[in-house]
Homo-oligomer: A and B are copies of this chain.
Amino acid sequence: MPVTSKFVALKNYIPTGLPKETDFEIKTKEISLDAKNNILVLNLWISVDPYMRARMTERKNYKPPFNIGEEMEGYALGIVKESKDKNFKEGDIVFSNFGMRDYFVCNSNDLKKIEPMNIPIQTYLGPLGMTGHTAYIGLFKHGELKPGQTILVSSAGGSVGSTVCQIAKNMGCKVIASTGSDEKVKWLKNDLKIDHAFNYKKIENLVLHLKEVCPEGFDLYFDNVGGDFLESAIFQMKNFGRIVICGRISQMNATNPGSGLKNMAHVLVKRLTIKGFIIFDHENDREQFETDMTKWLLEDKIKFKETVYEGIENTPKSFIDLLEGKNIGKMLVKI
């Protein structure tokens, strides 16, 4: 029996600037099981993530652009409503890349079954999902984080940033966190026990502020924003420091290229390493992460904060608000 699926589609590409709600539309279509797609899933939670912005342009990137007028995609957690596959049964909780919609049909290759554990299921979109994986791979594989180091994190009130901060704290590191609101500063300091958190919007001279709060400099800068913040961080790196470029949220909606990075001399003189990475390259590199993160979550060593918008209709707004930093922790849409 056909079901009506409601989904989010891009109406047009957005070459520069912040997306508007009118760049998106909510559409419907009839779907039904067939020989190939023999599982019907209803999404419960949808993940919205900054990397999606890059797929809203026509420019070549590491993932192809979204198709105009068709379902956008992204990670999601759903519940199986009907199954003709022996490995999945009604009521199973499943992880997929079929986000940005409520109902969908697919087959068993497209799904990963989530085994029940004593944590909320949406954790699989946060610390146990791409968010946590990004923080973990960035810190350990690319950042080569060692206990006792001093680390700087930008966009620290977001999902990846706040996970980075907590993992580093658990490692006995000193953590300096930058974020965009006093509320997030309070959360980082009081709940996550970060050594120093500040609202970058209230800082006049970032280089001087970093020098003041952390005169010894940084071993590692986990860069979620790029742009001028990256330049300031470079000035305060220790010799042999590492900069992991995970995102560039300050640049993604920029309407001009900005003034450029003027202090590459420091990269040479301080023997810095700058490394860009993308989590989608690490799909086969999850085992140690899952073991460690599950342990930390069960021991309550990683706290997971969510900003939840309800209803598929609010997905475009949730994404725009994410880019504007209106979330604390992981931005999710509950269907």
Chain A interfacial positions (CB closer than 8 Å to B): 54, 61-62, 226, 230, 239, 245-248, 251, 257-262, 264-265, 267-278, 281
Q: Could you say which residues of chain B place their CB within 8 Å of the CB of A259?
A: 260
In Å, the complex CA distance between A207 and B49 comes to 32
How many whole Å from A265's CB to the nearest CB in chain B? Answer: 6
Q: Kindly identify which residue among B262, B265, B274, B281 contacts A274, using a CB–CB cutoff of 8 Å.
A: B274
Q: Do A268 and B248 touch across chains, with their CB atoms under 8 A apart? A: yes
Residue of B nearest to A243 (CB): B274
Question: What are 9 A-B pairs at a CB distance below 8 A?
Answer: A61-B269, A226-B264, A245-B264, A251-B265, A258-B262, A259-B260, A268-B276, A273-B275, A274-B275
Q: Provide the residues of chain B in CB contact with A275, threshold 8 Å.
A: 271-274
Q: How far, in angstroms, from A261 to B257 measured CA to CA in the complex?
A: 10
Can you name 18 extra interface pairs (CB under 8 A) apart from A62-B269, A261-B261, A268-B278?
Answer: A54-B269, A62-B239, A226-B268, A245-B264, A245-B267, A246-B268, A259-B260, A260-B260, A261-B264, A267-B274, A269-B276, A269-B278, A271-B277, A272-B275, A273-B273, A273-B275, A274-B274, A274-B275
The complex places the Cα of A267 from the Cα of B245 at a distance, in Å, of 8
Q: How far is the CB of A58 from chain B (nearest CB, A)?
A: 15
Q: A269-B276, A270-B276 are in contact. Are A230 and B264 (CB under 8 A)?
A: yes
- The distance from the CB of A272 to the nearest CB of chain B, in whole angstroms, is 5
Complex contacts, A260 vs chain B, CB 8 Å: 259-262
Report Cα–Cα, A281/B262, bound state, in Å.
Answer: 25
- Closest 4 interchain pairs by CB? A260-B260, A268-B276, A261-B261, A260-B262
Q: Shortest CB–CB separation between residue A91 and chain B, in angstroms?
A: 40
Closest to A60 in B: B269
Smallest beta-carbon distance A139→chain B, Å? 16
Cβ–Cβ contact A274 & B271, under 8 A: no
Considering only CB atoms, which chain B residue lies closest to A261 in the complex?
B261
Q: Give the shortest distance, in Å, between A16 (CB) and chain B (any CB).
A: 12
A259 to B259, CA, bound (A): 7
Whether A273 pairs with B271 at a CB distance below 8 angstroms is no
B62 touching A265 by the CB < 8 A rule? Answer: no
**Which of A62, A245, A276 has the most B CB atoms < 10 Å from its CB?**
A276
Partner of A268, one of B245, B258, B262, B271: B245
Chain B nearest CB, measured from A34 CB (Å): 37
Which residues of B are found within 8 Å of A54, using beta-carbon distances?
269
Question: Do the beta carbons of A257 and B267 come within 8 Å of each other?
Answer: no
Nearest-CB residue, chain B, relative to A240: B281
Which residues of B have CB within 8 Å of A247? 268
Shortest C-beta distance, A322 to chain B (Å), equals 18
